[in-house]
Amino acid sequence: NAGVTQTPKFRILKIGQSMTLQCTQDMNHNYMYWYRQDPGMGLKLIYYSVGAGITDKGEVPNGYNVSRSTTEDFPLRLELAAPSQTSVYFCASSRTRLAGDEQFFGPGTRLTVL
């Protein structure tokens, strides 16, 4: 199993550009998450999904959109990139939401908006 994969690894955007961060998991997990991590800060939840076709906002959803058309894929869309969106983005998945089920993280996408 490849686990959770993310593309691209690095990206530089200009202000106002748009892009999609890709996330795929091959563990047949129902739950998927998008986090951002700024220097010296913990992980902040952007959006999450409890299954195909179901998404919900996390703590910091503004400026982002998601979709979940399949169990495997959970792309994150930035429509109008702003410098405040410069961050490292992590996608994660978990099998269930039962007690003790850990989240598995992808390697991250480092995004810079100039």
Partner 1 sequence: GQNIDQPTEMTATEGAIVQINCTYQTSGFNGLFWYQQHAGEAPTFLSYNVLDGLEEKGRFSSFLSRSKGYSYLLLKELQMKDSASYLCAVRDRGYSTLTFGKGTMLLVSP
Binding residues for partner 1 (CB under 8 A): 31, 33, 35, 40-45, 48, 50, 56, 58-59, 90, 97-100, 102-108
Which residue's CB is nearer to partner 1, number 13 or number 91?
91
Contact 70, 32 (CB under 8 A): no
Which residue's CB is nearer to partner 1, number 14 or number 62?
62
Give me the least distance between CB of 31 and partner 1, in Å please: 7
Cα distances (angstroms) measured from residue 17 to each of 11, 83, 86: 12, 11, 13
Contact 74, 68 (CB under 8 A): yes
**Alpha-carbon gap, residue 21 to 28, rounded angstroms:** 20
Which residue's CB is nearer to partner 1, number 3 or number 17?
3
Give me the least distance between CB of 36 and partner 1, in Å please: 11
Which residue's CB is nearer to partner 1, number 55 or number 85?
55
Give me the least distance between CB of 65 and partner 1, in Å please: 18
Segment holding 91, helix H or strand E: strand 87-94
Give me the least distance between CB of 97 and partner 1, in Å please: 4
**Alpha-carbon gap, residue 59 to 100, rounded angstroms:** 22
